[in-house]
Structure 1
Amino acid sequence: MTVTDVRPGADASPDSGGVAPRQLLRIATAGSVDDGKSTLIGRLLHDTDSLPLDHLESVTDEDGVADLAALSDGLRAEREQGITIDVAYRFFSTPTRSYVLADTPGHERYTRNMFTGASNANVAILLVDARAGVLRQTRRHARIATLVGVDRLVATVNKMDIVDYDEARFRAVEAELVALGARLGTEILVIPIAAKPGDNVVHRSAAMPWYDGPTLLDHLEGIDLAAPAPVATELRLPVQWVSRPTVGERRRYTGRLSAGTLQVGDPVVALPSGSRSVVTALDTLDENRDVAVAPLSVSVELADDIDVARGDVLVSGREGAHLPVLAREIDATVCWLGEQPVAVGDRVALKHTTTTVRATVHRIHSRLDPETLDETAGPSALSLNDIARVTLRTSAVVVSDDYVDNRDAGAFILVDEHTNDTVAAGIVEGARDIADRGESVAWTPSALPADDRAARTGQRGAVLLVVNPDGVAAPAAGIEDALTARGRNAYALDGAALRSALDLSPDARSAAIHLARVARLLADAGVVAVLALDAADPAVLAAVHQEIDAAGVERHDVADADAAVRALGLA
């Protein structure tokens, strides 16, 4: 029999023998530490007869009692501490379906591994200790599961044997879980179980006659998985490797299809360059396959020697094709996984599909409160395990799709450039095309002197100095957004962030003058520099004015976005 991956975009067609494919269900566990995730997995493996005998014997004591949790805790440190550290993948099957189960850590320190386990899952099993109820980490893991696109949540209220199978206690925890699901915008099926003795996991429990719903395995067996029909116009092929197999042959472009289909004769476009060609050869290591369907890995030959490199993306060249965004600015939700906090202005490496570019944290819009699941607006920084909405600016074009449309092309990680540690995982919720910034400008070259830089860039530079009467710097990013929305190439300079990044003198006057020089250079290059200072001392402001005005740069003192728009004649 053929085991078929039925994730969105996967090939769910019957095999060549005409036998219906055996579905593969990917599961991730979620919840707080000590809720019994490893024990539940051990019970599933044991009761479905999916354990090799030698493996079972290795975790069975002298009295013949098996330590079910040890079946998935494979690291020595995990067995010693009694907690899960890394993601443990286990496989089991029934007569009708195959399963891949990711046992993800419950400890807050290893939240990053929850992202790993849930990123490819079809279903998340949310475990809750019947005694403790819904905890902080339970909410965080549930939010991560929905964040990465897991739209099927089943909650198991575990350790019912310890509370004497009390229905009242189960109903109280069930109410908490239903409320959590409503808060996340999804339905959660709640099942009472006792993983250690096996109640309601694979076999129905006689100890809980008041429960008439499905067992956990019954529910998993009944989940209907149907991959969307593959569509050629949705093609996404991130190029991972460029090679020339034999002398005299054209180059081959190799990668894994993340969406759509591909076959010989298909027109394709290489992004971000926009070069066009036609597929002349296709290798999938399967002689009987004429059409490649995501998520297959393929090697492609094109009719023309166009410039295609690692990190480029081949998309459909058909009329009406769904094209990605050539983005330089990305709105995303991220989970910060780094030990060191991150603030606006910090730089990281953004790894997206097969390319890596430098990125700057341009704005932090809001942070999720794991207790209430409310959004807190305008945090100054993100710490370990924080989930937040941010805007990132990239140093090069990123060929991007929204995560809801394409899990592969809409996901990324952030990497510390100094330590090479993964410091965040994120999903794209919106991206702005490079054509959206600076093409529709208010100034025309013919209206300016021929030797002026503005005549070549199509925009006149300026400095907008933002200080309110109370001496508190107004948010420069909001002013920048208002100007870029009107076609101006603007850049926000936050005084506090720049002082830290440039290691400027703590003396307010000296630091302000250096910042004014940075703004002046940007304006000279044709950019509208929005400079927010965190001091309103008259002497400091006078020094800043003198520094900017002496260079002959256009300057406006503004208090907010409306004033900035009026000052530049864009109202």
Structure 2
Amino acid sequence: MASSKLQEFIEETENKEILRFVTIGSVDDGKSTLIGRLLHDTNAVYEDQLSAVKSASTQNVDQGEIDFALITDGLKAEREQGITIDVAYRYFATKKRKFIIADTPGHVQYTRNMATGASTADVALILIDARHGVLPQTRRHAYISSLLGIYGLLVCVNKMDLKDYDEAVFEKIKKDMEAVTANMGFGDIQFIPVSALKGDNVVTSSANTPWYKGPTVLEYLETIQVPKDDLASHFALPVQLVIRPHLNFRGFAGRIISGSIQVADEIMVLPSEKTSRVKEILLYKENLHEAVAGQSIVLTLEDEIDISRGDMLVHPNHSFTISNRFRAKMVWLDENPLKLNRQYYLKHTTNSAVGVVNQVNQILNIESLQFESSDKPLKLNDIAEVTITVNRPLIADLYRNNRQAGAFILIDRITNQTSGAGMIAEFLDDLSAEQEEEFLEKVSREEKEARLNQKGYLVQVVAPTEQEAFQKAVSLERLLFDRGYFPIFIEKEDIAQKLLPFAKENALLILIPKVGKKLAIQIEDKEVKIKHLADALSVIQKEIEK
């Protein structure tokens, strides 16, 4: 009897629909507190975890109350500062649905984490502090959510208890937010007045808001219907690994990003456009007849075809484009501003390429939510429309058609920092050889400076003896090179002086040794005394990156 009930429970749980949602909004609007309250009131918090949270709830809440934010804010720095820094994922289920929550930070500095958490969500739950109303970060998070193609937007006007549950306050914020989201393209928008700390309208309806007749947060999440893609078409599997344990087996491993596939289906390999039929679908030790989006599988084919990592397996009637030029909407996530025509790694599905941003076409004005022409460099948290060229064609789709196949990230080649996250909006024609020749221009000094991330200078490394000056200059060359610069060490000053005009025009950094009284760095006519080469590095970086 017990085993049969357990089996029924397992089957019931497996068959429940999964809804992924993300909490977004400005810092201190109460995102983590709301999720903690939701988990607590749906009995999704284990006793030992609840006990630990109660013990830690001493700093930011009244005596006897629980700091629900601690349920998701697990990092030491998060608890000390009372803010969310990293994305916290939580899982819970009700009788109607299973849920995957991404609790994201609201601080401007951590917008990249918010974009990561929202990238796979079906619904964005955005919180607005009833005391402060709609803030710039509220607008930014809402717009990024719309860019990411999130279907539903649940607007929770939080901390209503601090405004005496005033309906006028709620209606004012609702009106403001409706204006903000009017042209963002969300499929469904719902407004709910809540108090995450007190629990009003989170799981159960509140007597404190008799004027509100809509659903609670949980009721909305349990009932919203998110349109699903047609799984019978647009099958796509980016090849992650070719498995070849012996001569009699050759399989292609990857995660299906869209659509479905069955044994005996005809498939096409991109970019070669060669075709075959599916022989087997393997999931660990199990042979499947069909696999769908989200499953990580191994396919074997009826024919021997040259396939490698980065290729795409699709149905012959696919919607993919092979292109190396496109326009995209991009969120800049790097503290260092974008430099046009500088090379970045571009990661797209399982493929990697080298890409350059040729042009920033428009930048979003976060106040008006209109794209405007601008000659300013793209900086942290800016949202822009850009034109990008890559050194090898991508097998991609427009983001609006396929979120997985239309998304990419830019990675700084030196720091490995994720610099930008983008969504492909339009493919551009590749330039023909004749067009390339027609539009070819002399490479400017500014372009070279952007590519090398430095300006052309003559740097003299001054030390008391000739031997010490020589050694310091050689060591400084290594330090600069290891940090991504391109220095050139020249021992003779007369040769260096002759080469200086050439170095300035081509953004080359020349280092020469020089004998002097004290250790110093001389750039042009500016001499700075230093104690260590690390000091020299700092001085040079400030000068060559101006």
TM-score exceeds 0.5: yes
**Cα pair distance change 1:329/1:46, threshold 3 Å:** same
Could you tell me which residue of structure 1 aligns to residue 151 of structure 2? 151
Within a 5 Å distance, the mapping from 1:269-418 to structure 2 comes to 269-285=268-284, 287=286, 289-317=288-316, 321-418=317-414
Aligned to 1:77: 77
Alignment gaps of 5+ in structure 2? 1-9, 458-500, 507-546
Checking the alignment, whether the CA contact within 8 Å between 2:281 and 2:287 is kept in structure 1 is: no
In structure 1, the partner of 2:481 is none
Give 1:244 shift. 1.2
Matched with 1:217 is 218
Structure-2 residue corresponding to 1:98: 98
Question: What amino acid is aligned across from residue 447 of structure 2 in structure 1?
Answer: A
Preserved contact between residue 27 and residue 122 of structure 1 (Cα < 8 Å): yes
The counterpart of 2:21, out of the listed 10, 23, 27, is 27
Which secondary structure state, in structure 1, belongs to the residue aligned with residue 163 of structure 2? coil
The secondary structure found in structure 2 opposite 1:343 is coil
| Cα pair distance change 1:49/1:513, threshold 3 Å | closer
Other structure's SS at 1:89 match: strand
Cα distance per residue 1:147-174 (max 9 Å; x no partner): 1011210101100101111111111111
Shift in Å, 1:437? 2.9
Q: Partners in 1 of 2:437 and 2:296 — Cα distance?
A: 50
Q: Secondary structure at the match of 2:222?
A: helix
Residues 172-187 of structure 1 correspond to what in structure 2 (within 5 A)?
172-186=172-186
Instruction: Render the CA deviation track for 1:109-135: whole Å, top value 9, x for unaligned.
Output: 000011111111110011000000000
Amino acid in structure 2 at the alignment position of 1:158: N
CA distance in 2, matches of 1:266, 1:432: 32
Asked if the contact 1:250/1:305 (under 8 Å) is kept, the reply is no
* Greater alpha carbon shift after TM alignment, 132-141 vs 413-422: 413-422
Query: Counterparts of 1:452-467 in structure 2 under 5 Å?
Result: 459=434
Contact kept, 8 Å, 1:326 with 1:397, in 2: the verdict is yes
In 1: Cα distance, 2:449 partner to 2:414 partner: 20
Task: Provide closer, same or farther for how the CA distance between residues 365 and 512 of structure 1 changes in structure 2, counting only shifts above 3 A.
Answer: farther
Answering whether residue 35 of structure 2 is matched by residue 54 of structure 1, we say no
**Fraction of identical pairs, as percent:** 43
Task: Provide the residue aligned with 2:167 in structure 1.
Answer: 167
TM-score, length of structure 2 as denominator length:
0.77
The Cα shift of 1:42 comes to 0.7
> Quick one: which amino acid aligns to residue 189 of structure 2?
I
Please list the CA deviations of residues 210-247 of structure 1 after superposition, one character each: whole Å capped at 9, or x if unmatched: 11121111111111235233124x221100001113x2
Structure 2 residue 41 is matched with structure 1 residue 42: no
Asked if 1 retains the 8 angstrom alpha-carbon contact of 2:456 and 2:503, the reply is no
* Secondary structure at the counterpart of residue 24 of structure 2: strand
In 1: Cα distance, 2:221 partner to 2:190 partner: 11
Deviation at 1:64, TM superposition (A): 4.1
Is the Cα–Cα contact under 8 Å of residues 230 and 259 in structure 1 kept in the other structure? yes
Measure, in 2, the Cα distance between the counterparts of 1:18 and 1:111. Answer: 37
Contact 2:445 2:505 in 1 (8 A): no
1-side partners of 2:222 and 2:79: how far apart?
31
CA shift in 2, pair 1:361/1:228, >3 Å: closer
Q: Which amino acid aligns with 1:375?
A: F
1:508-556, Cα deviation, whole Å (9 max, x unpaired):
xx789979xxxxxxxxxxxxxxxxxxxxxxxxxxxxxxxxxxxxxxxxx
Distance (Å, rounded) in 2 between the aligned partners of 1:23 and 1:65: 34
Structure 1 CA distance for aligned equivalents of residues 443 and 328 of structure 2: 21
Q: What is residue 447 of structure 2 aligned with on the other side?
A: 497
What do you get for the CA RMSD once the two structures are aligned? Answer: 2.7
TM-score (norm 1): 0.74
Aligned partners of 1:492 and 1:242: how far apart in 2? 43
Distance 1:156 1:308, change over 3 A: same
Report if aligned partners of 1:333, 1:429 keep a CA contact under 8 Å in 2. yes
2:112 and 2:172 mapped to 1: Cα distance? 30
Q: Please, which moves more after superposition, 94-103 or 257-266?
A: 257-266
Equivalent position SS for 1:390: strand
CA contact (8 A) 1:177 1:190 kept: no
Query: Whole-Å Cα distance in 2 between the matches of residues 461 and 202 of structure 1?
Result: 61
Residues 79 and 460 from structure 1, CA distance in 2 versus in 1: closer, same or farther, beyond 3 angstroms? closer
2:475 maps to which residue? none
Q: Name structure 1 gaps, 5 residues minimum.
A: 1-15, 439-456, 464-479, 481-489, 516-571
Residue 343 of structure 1, CA deviation: 2.4
Question: Secondary structure of the equivalent of 2:80?
Answer: helix
8 Å CA contact 1:31, 1:141 repeated in 2: yes
